[in-house]
Structure 1
Amino acid sequence: MTGQTRRRGAALEDAILRAAADQLDETGFAGLTMDAVARRAGTNKNAIYRRWPDRLALGVAAYRQIAHTVQPPDTGNLRDDALEMLRRANRHWSSPLGGILRELIAAAGGTQQLLGQLTDQSAEATAAPWLIILGRAVARGEASPESLHPRVATVAMVLLRNEFVTRGAPTAPDETLTEIVDAVYLPLIRNRAIS
């Protein structure tokens, strides 16, 4: 190892996460192995296991490195904002990165701790942009303040996620997104004022 400095701490962790993200991008979760990541990162498996107990935990951490947070749309009305949110989510879930996300969710099963670490799967991260667009709708008089509840706010996203996770759809047609918004989401929001 002449002239080469041994990486430690954050530098080694970054190298491992970059290697794991590259491996996920190339092979999906099914091809993510500790051996492959160790080779790519130029380290050994023990260095990886000291930081992540198994390949699922490593896969979730690597996914967080490559996933992007998107700002909620502001089209001027709730219906168009909700449709745009679903269209963005549909594009993500239909993409190769979305395929990795679906694999990780399936592998995690009901492990809430790992599911919560997936940036766009935690309850707070899912609810935040929906609460923003609902807050704007309340300010415009399109919705009542009673609609500002995380479960109400995210029902459209949960229904879309169901298309991918439960039904195994590779993508959701735009008609499905429109149906979710027009037949479920908007009536739910409108009925919150009555209760």
Structure 2
Amino acid sequence: MDTGVVVSERRAASTPTRRRGAALEKAITDAAWEVLVEQGYHGFTFEAVAARAGTSKPVLYRRWPQREDLLIATLARHWRPLDIPDTGSLRQDALTLLRAVNAERARTVILLRVRLADYFRETGTTFSDLRSRLRPADQTPPFERLVDRAVERGELADTPRSARLVNLPFDLVRHDMLMRMGAVPDEAIVEIVDTLWLPLLSRSPHSAHSGR
């Protein structure tokens, strides 16, 4: 074989493919996620992400002018939306959703709490604020959708309910995840739904005030 051909083939093999558009952004946000997991928000810098992604800082700045912009883009790509169950039963919907949260989100929730501690201190925001930013603006929170469906099916009365009450199961499971630093036992999920949430949802506003 011609020596020149061999050299050309070796050069082609060693030259990285030029990335553009979505492929480049995916490579950058993948690298950014790795940096965040390894070094936390303190080490989440344009320099570190650019080096990990094999690109330059100006490439990052053109897409995300501020470090927070890059952080939100990175989290949005790695915070996979959960499927909203529709089993025909509010209880089963709630259990299915909470079990999915428990299986798929426990490690990520704990990781973000720990790795983003500096971010929350620096910005004066909370995990709930961050979760709201990651959720599409036009998307109804999961448990609100479950309750709305239950009302449409006639399982629940169509009465006003506070967001705190509607989202109580998720808040309690997330709290238990953080207290345990891991997944929540299934019996705790069942207890939250059966002994706390469903009875509270079924109470009418009149009965809720009558005991005062």
Same fold per superposition (TM over 0.5)? yes
Does the C-alpha gap of structure 1 residues 105 and 140 become closer, same or farther in structure 2, counting only changes over 3 Å? farther
- The amino acid of 1:155's aligned partner reads L
How big is the alpha-carbon RMSD for the aligned residues of Structure 1 and Structure 2? 3.4
Q: CA deviation at 1:170?
A: 0.9
Residue 101 of structure 1 is aligned with which of 107, 112, 130?
A: 112
Contact 2:50 2:56 in 1 (8 A): yes
Amino acid at match of 1:158: D
Decide which of 174, 181, 187 is 2:186's aligned counterpart.
174
CA–CA distance in structure 2, aligned partners of residues 190 and 123 of structure 1: 29
Q: Which moved more, 1:45-54 or 1:80-89?
A: 45-54
AA at the equivalent of 1:111: T
1:42 and 2:54 are equivalent in the alignment: yes
Name stretches of at least 5 consecutive residues in structure 2 with no aligned partner. 1-14, 208-212
In the superposition, the TM-score normalised over structure 2's length comes to 0.68
Match of 2:174 in 1: 161
Determine the C-alpha separation between the residues in 2 that align with 1:152 and 1:45: 45
1:137 aligned residue: 150
Q: 1:53 maps to which residue? A: 66
- Tell whether the 8 Å contact from 2:110 to 2:177 is kept in structure 1 after alignment: no
Shift of 1:33: 4.5
Secondary structure of the residue aligned to 1:146 is coil
Query: 3-state DSSP class of the match of 2:159?
Result: helix
Of the three residues 116, 122, 126, the one matched with 2:132 is: 116
Contact 1:83 / 1:178 at 8 angstroms: preserved in 2? Answer: yes
Relative distance call for 1:35 and 1:151 in structure 2 (3 A) is same
Decide whether the 8 Å contact of 1:164 with 1:171 is kept in 2. Answer: yes
Aligned with residue 146 of structure 1, among 159, 168, 187: 159
Q: Post-superposition shift, 1:129?
A: 1.8
Larger Rg: 2
What's the offset of the Cα at 1:18?
Answer: 3.4
Confirm or deny: 8 A CA contact 1:29 1:59 kept in the other structure.
no
Matched residues, number:
186
| In 2, Cα distance between equivalents of 1:155 and 1:61 | 28
1:92-131 CA distance string (max 9 Å, x none): 2224x44433335544434156453233xx9986x52212
* TM-score after normalising by structure 1: 0.73
Q: Flag the 1:123–1:174 CA change in 2: closer, same or farther, 3 A.
A: farther
What are the residue-to-residue correspondences of 1:53-72 with 2, within 5 Å? 53-54=66-67, 58-72=70-84
